[in-house]
Structure 1
Amino acid sequence: MSETSGPSSPGAARAGPGAPAASRAVLPLAIAQFIMVLDSSVMSVSISQLVEEFDTTVSTIQLAITLYALVMAALMLTGGKLGDLFGRLRVFRIGLVIYAVGSLMTALAPTVMVLIVGWSFIEGAGAALVLPALAALVAGNYEGAGRARAYGIIGGVAGAGIAIGPLLGGWLTTAYSWRWVFAGEVVFVVIVLLLGSWIRDDEQRARFRLDGFGAVLSAVGLSLVVIGVLQSGTWGWVLPLQSPVTPFGLSLTPFMIGGGLAVLWAFFGWERRVAGRGRVPLLDVRNLRIPALRSGLVSLLAQNLVLLGIFFAVPLYLQVSQGMDAFQTGLRLLPTSIAMLLAAAVGARVGTRFGARTIVRTGLLTVAAACVLIVATVEPELATVPFAIGMALVGLGTGLLASQLGNIVQSAVPPEARSEAGGLQYTAQNLGSSLGTALIGSLMVAALATAVLDLIAADPDIEAAVADRATVQVASGIEYVPAADAEQALLDEGFPREQVDDLVDAYVEAQLIGVKLGLLACGAAALIALPATRRLPGREQGAEA
C-alpha cells in the first residue's frame, strides 16, 4: 500500500533463519508464552483465599477473571497492528514491561480494586501487545520444518501452562501465598528481556496512520460478545436467571451477543471502506478469504473451547465430588501437561510427513475418545488409572493440535500480515476459552438441575410436599457444592431431617450426571470441529512448507 515503507532497521535482515541467535529464539518466546497463560489458571484455584484475604465475594474475583479475558480479547487486533507500526520486537518488549508492572501491582495489591487494575487491566493490556508480536516473531525467526517445530513448542508450553497452573497455584496458595506467582512472573519477564537479543527482528516495519475508529469498533464488538458469553451462566442464555434487565421477558445475554455481532459486522464494513480508500486497515478482511487461515482460526477456537471446557468440568468433579484440594487437583491434571508437551514436540516433527490436516484430525479424535474414557471414570469413587490415562489422552490430542495450528495461521498469510494474523490467532483462542467455560458451565448447571429434579420425582421415599419444595429451591438457583454443604443448606432451609439424606443422595448423583454431560459435550465439540479441518494443508502442502 502507498503508506508502507521499507525496512526501518538496516541490520534487520542480516541474520538468516538458521543463524545461531534465531535458533535460540524459541526459548525466550516460549517463556513469554508460559507467563501469559499461567496466572489465569492460578487465579482460578486461588479464589477462596482471595475472597478471604480481601474480605470480598466470589463474584468480585470472578469479575476480575472476566475482565482479564475481556481486555485481552478487545485489544488483541490493535496490539497486532501496533507491532506493524512500531516494530514487533519493540512492541513485544514494551508489552512485557507493561505486563510486569501489572504483575508487581497485583503481587502487592492491598485491596481488590488494586488487584483488578493491576491484573485485569494492566496485565491484560500488556498481554494484548505481547501475544500477537510473539506469534509473528516465531514466524520471522524460523522457516519450514524449523518453524513448525517452534510453533509446536510454543503451543505445547501454552497448553502446559494451563495444566500446570492449578498445580503450581494450588501449592503456592496452600503453602505460601498466591502473591508469589505474580512476583515470580516479574522475575521471568526480566529473564525474557535479558534473552531478547536471541530474537531476530526482521519484519518490514511500516509507516501508516492507525485505524482508530476500527480499533474502537473491534474492541466494543468483541467486548460485548465476550461479556455476553462469560455472563451467560449467570444471566441465562435465553430465559432470564439473574439477568440485570429482562428485555421482552428474555435474558440480556442474546441481546448483548447480538449487539456485539452487529458492531463487528459494522467493523468489517468499515475495514473494507478503509482499504478501499488506500489506507491501512486494522484488519485486512481479504486475508479472511484464505481457506487455510479460516480453518486454522476455527480449529484454534475449537481447541481452546474443548480444553477449557474439560478444565472446568474435571476440577469441579475432583474438588466437589472427590473432596480434593487445589494441589491434589493439580496433581491429577499433571498427565495432561506431560503428554501435551511431548505430543506438541512430536507432532511438529511428523507434520511434514503426514500433513497438518491429518495431525489435527487425529488430535480432535483423540480428545473425543479421551472425553468418553474420562466419563467412564466419573463415579463416586475415582478410578485412578483409567482417569490418568484419559487425562494423558487429553494432553496427547491437544498437543497434536497445538503443534500445527499456530504454524498454519502464520504460514497462511504474507510476512507483512503476521502481526495481524497473531491478533486473530489469540482472539480466536480467547473466544474459545470464554465459550468453553461459559457453554460447558451453563450446560452442566442445567443438567444438574434437571437430573436432581428427575431423581427426586422418581424416589418413592421422598414425600410429594418435600419434592415440591425442592423444585422451588432448584428453580431459584443451584450450584455444585460438596455434599456436606448441600446437607447443611437443606437443614437451614427447614427441610425434614428424615428426608434430607434422600435429597442429598439425589443431588450427589445428579452432580455426576452433570459432569458426564459436560465432558460428553466437550467430546462432541471436538467432533463437530472436524469439518472445519477440510481446508487445512495436507501432506503435499505440508511438505512444500
Structure 2
Amino acid sequence: MTVPPLALAQFVASYAATTMTVAVSVIAADLGTTVLGVQIAITLFTLTMASLMVPGSKLTDVLGRKRCFVLGLVVYGVGALLASAAQGTGTLVLGYSLLQGIGSALMIPPIYILVTVTSPDVETRARRFGVVSGAGALGAAAGPLVGGLVTTWFGWRASFLLQVLIVGVIVVLAWRMVEPPGAPGRTRFDVAGAVLSAAGLFFVVAGLLQVGTSPFWLFAGIGVAILFLFFAHIHNRERAGREPLVSPGIFRDRTTRLGLLTQHVQWLVLQGSFFVIAVFLQQVRGYDAIRTGLMLTPATIGILVASAAAGRMARRHSQRLLIRGGFVIAIAGLALVLLLVRADSGVASAVPGLFLLGAGIGIMLTASVNLVQSGRPDSAQGDISGVSRSVSNLGSSVGTALAGSVLAGVVRPGGTSFALALATLTLVAVGGLIAALLLPKPR
C-alpha cells in the first residue's frame, strides 16, 4: 500500500501547479480583482514550493518520512479548502500560495524518499518511480483540461474542493503506511541553513519569472549571492562537526552532479515546450483551454507509456543508457514538431512529435530520479531528495521563463517566434544529452 498514496499525492501536486492557469480570468472577475492579482498568487505558489523544498525534505529526518508526508497533506488540504472559500485575493494567497505551497514542500520529498528506501532493488524502484512520474505527468497534463471542464461546469471553487477530496483519500491510504525501518532519528535542525537556502531559491526563482526585465538581474544576483553564503555555511558547519541542512558531499560526486543536471534539463524542456506549444495553439490557431489540453494528450500518453515500462527497461538496460536514449528520443520529437507543425497544418501533424517528446522525457524522468536517489544511502535520502526536487522545480521555472523570453523578444509574422523558441529548447536538450554522455559507468 506504499505506492498508491504516493502516486496520488504527486498527481494532485502537479495538477495544482497547472490547473489555475485556465481559470485566471474567471477567478479575477469573481473576486473583484485583476488578472495580475491572480497571476501573482500563482507565482507566489511556485516561489513558496521551490524555496522550501530543501528544508521540507530535511524535516523528514526530524519528524520521520511518513509523518512529514501526512503533515504536508493536511497543510495542503487546509490550504485548498481555504482557497475554495476565498472572498478576496488575501485569502486566496493564504490558502493557495502559502499553505498549499508549504504543504507541497513537506509532502513531495517524502514521496521520493519512501519509494527509494522501501524498494528492494533497482528494477522495483524504477517501476515504482515510473508510477509516480506517470502520475505527476498525468496531473500536469490534466490540470488545464480537467481544470477547464470543472471551472466551466461547476465553477473555479470546485477545482479546489476536488483537491480537498483527493487529499482526504490520500490521508486515509497513508495512515495505513508503515514507517520504514532504519529511518533517521531526531537531529538538530539547521535553521540558518534553511533560511539561507529558502531565501536564495526564492530570489533565484523570482528572477527567473521576470526574465527579460530589469528586475531579473537584481533578483537573480541577490539569489546567487545568498546561495553562495548557503554553501559556505554548510561547509563551515560540517567542518565544525555539526550536521548541515545538506551535506556538501552530495555535490562532490560526479554521477550525482550530472544526474541532477539531466533532471534540470528534462523539466526545463518539458515545461518550456508545453508552454510554447500551448501559447502557439491559443494565439495562432485560436484554441481554447480544453482543445489545447486535448492537443497535448499525445505527449501525456508518451510519458505514461514510458513510465509504465520503466521496470522492464531498468531490468534490461542501465539507468545511464536509458537517460541517453530518452534524450535522443525527446530531441527527435522536438525536431518532428518543428518540421511538421505549421499554423495551417492539420491536428495529426503534431501527434508523432509530441508522442516521441513525451516518451523520451518519460524514460528520462524515471531513470534520472532512480540514478540520483539510488546513488545515496538511506541515511542521506533527506538531503538528496530535497536537492533533486529543487533542481527539478528550477528546471520548470527556467523552461517557462526561457521560452517566454524568446517569444517576447522576437516579433515576426506567423509562427517564426514559436519555431525559434522550440529550436532553443532543442539545443538545451542537446546539452542535456552531452551531460548524459559524460555520466561515468556505475561502480
TM (normalized to structure 2)?
0.96
Give matches, 1:210-359, under 5 Å.
210-233=189-212, 235=213, 251-359=214-322
2:162 to 184, 193, 196: 184
* Amino acid paired to 1:524: L
Q: What residue in structure 2 maps to residue 9 of structure 1?
A: none
2:41 aligned to which of 56, 64, 86: 64
Measured after TM superposition, the shift of residue 160 of structure 1 is 1.8
- Is the CA contact 1:231–1:438 (under 8 Å) kept in the aligned structure 2? yes
Give the structure with higher Rg (CA): 1
Which of the residues 420, 432, 436 maps onto 1:533?
A: 436
In structure 2, C-alpha distance between the alignment counterparts of 1:257 and 1:400, rounded to whole Å: 32
Whether 1:32 aligns to 2:9 is: yes
Q: SS of 2:209's equivalent?
A: helix
Mark the runs of 5 or more structure 1 residues left unpaired by the alignment: 1-23, 236-250, 452-505
Tell me whether 1:53 sits opposite 2:16 in the alignment: no
Q: Please name the residue that 1:481 is paired with.
A: none
1:316 and 1:111 mapped to 2: Cα distance? 28
TM-score w.r.t. the length of structure 1 is 0.78
Specify which of 523, 527, 536 is matched with residue 426 of structure 2: 523
Change (3 A) 1:367 1:441: same
Give 1:18-167 correspondences, 5 Å limit.
24-144=1-121, 145-167=123-145
Any idea what the Cα deviations from partners look like across 1:254-299, whole Å, max 9, x if unmatched?
Answer: 2321221111111111101111111111010112112222122111
- Residue aligning to 2:399: 436
Distance 1:298 1:56, change over 3 A: same
One-letter identity of the residue aligned with 1:514: S
- In 1: Cα distance, 2:328 partner to 2:155 partner: 39
Query: What's 1:193 paired with?
Result: 171
1:191 partner letter? V
Helix, strand or coil at the partner of 1:208: coil
Asked whether the equivalents of residues 46 and 101 of structure 2 are also in contact (C-alpha less than 8 Å), the reply is yes
Aligned-partner SS, 1:216 = helix
1:208 shift after superposition: 2.2
SS at the partner of 1:382?
coil
Contact 1:137 1:199 in 2 (8 A): no
CA contact (8 A) 2:319 2:370 kept: no
Q: Is contact 1:155–1:406 with CA below 8 Å preserved after alignment? A: no
Rate the CA distance shift 1:527–1:419 in 2: closer, same or farther, 3 A: same
Counterpart CA distance in 2 for 1:515 and 1:47 is 23
Structure 2 counterpart of 1:416 = 379
The whole-number CA distance in structure 1 between the counterparts of 2:408 and 2:88 is 31
Contact between 2:324 and 2:437, CA under 8 Å: does it hold in 1? no
Which residue of structure 2 aligns with residue 387 of structure 1?
A: 350
Q: Counterpart of 1:173?
A: 151
Matched length: 441
1:428-449 CA distances to partner (integer Å, 9 max, x unpaired)? 11100110110110011111x2
Query: What SS class does the counterpart of residue 187 from structure 2 fall into?
Result: coil
Indicate if the aligned counterparts of 1:138 and 1:147 stay in contact, CA closer than 8 A: yes
Name the SS for the 1:232 alignment partner: coil
Amino acid at match of 1:348: G
* Structure 2: gaps spanning 5 or more residues: none
1:366 counterpart letter in structure 2: I
Cα separation, 2, equivalents of 1:172 and 1:307: 25
What SS class does the counterpart of residue 245 from structure 2 fall into? coil
Does the CA contact (< 8 Å) of 1:295 and 1:534 recur in 2?
no
Q: Which residue of 2 aligns with 1:7?
A: none
> RMSD of the alignment, in Å?
1.5
Cα deviation digits, residues 169-224 of structure 1 (max 9, x gap): 12112222222221111111111111114533124222322111111111111111
The Cα of 1:225 is off from its aligned counterpart by: 0.6
Kept after mapping to 1: 8 A contact 2:32/2:88: no
Q: Write out per-residue CA displacement over residues 129-153 of structure 1, whole angstroms, 9 at most, x where no aligned residue.
A: 1011111111121121111111111
Mapped to 2, the partners of 1:220 and 1:358 lie a distance apart of 36
SS in 2 for 1:75: helix
